Amino acid sequence: MIATIAAAVTQQSSATQKISNNIEPLSLGIQEVNENVSQSYVVSVQISEDISNVNSASKEMTSNSEIVKESAKQLKEMAEKFKVILDTFVIE
């Protein structure tokens, strides 16, 4: 009976050792996954900031293009007035 108990304890010890040996690589794998998730988070925050910057630049370009459009309109009106003035001169 003692031999049976000793064999069972030895078998249990062996099984526990195998479980322990399997847990270590698993733990390292989980640690690596956590590091990858952390890095992905950092990258996604940077991408979000970049998208925000692009959005701001786009709004600024839209505003500036409206200013250029208005300036071009004023320049055209001035050119038309200038042409009317020039047409009043007679060249002989």
What's at 21, amino acid-wise?
Answer: N
Whole-angstrom distance, CA of residue 12 vs CA of residue 6: 10
Residue 82 has pLDDT above 80, yes or no: yes
- With CA atoms as reference, report the closest residue to 33 among 20, 48, 25: 25
pLDDT value, residue 9: 83
pLDDT value, residue 20: 86
pLDDT tens digits along 20-79: 888 988 999 999 999 999 999 999 999 999 999 999 999 999 999 999 999 999 999 999
pTM: 0.57
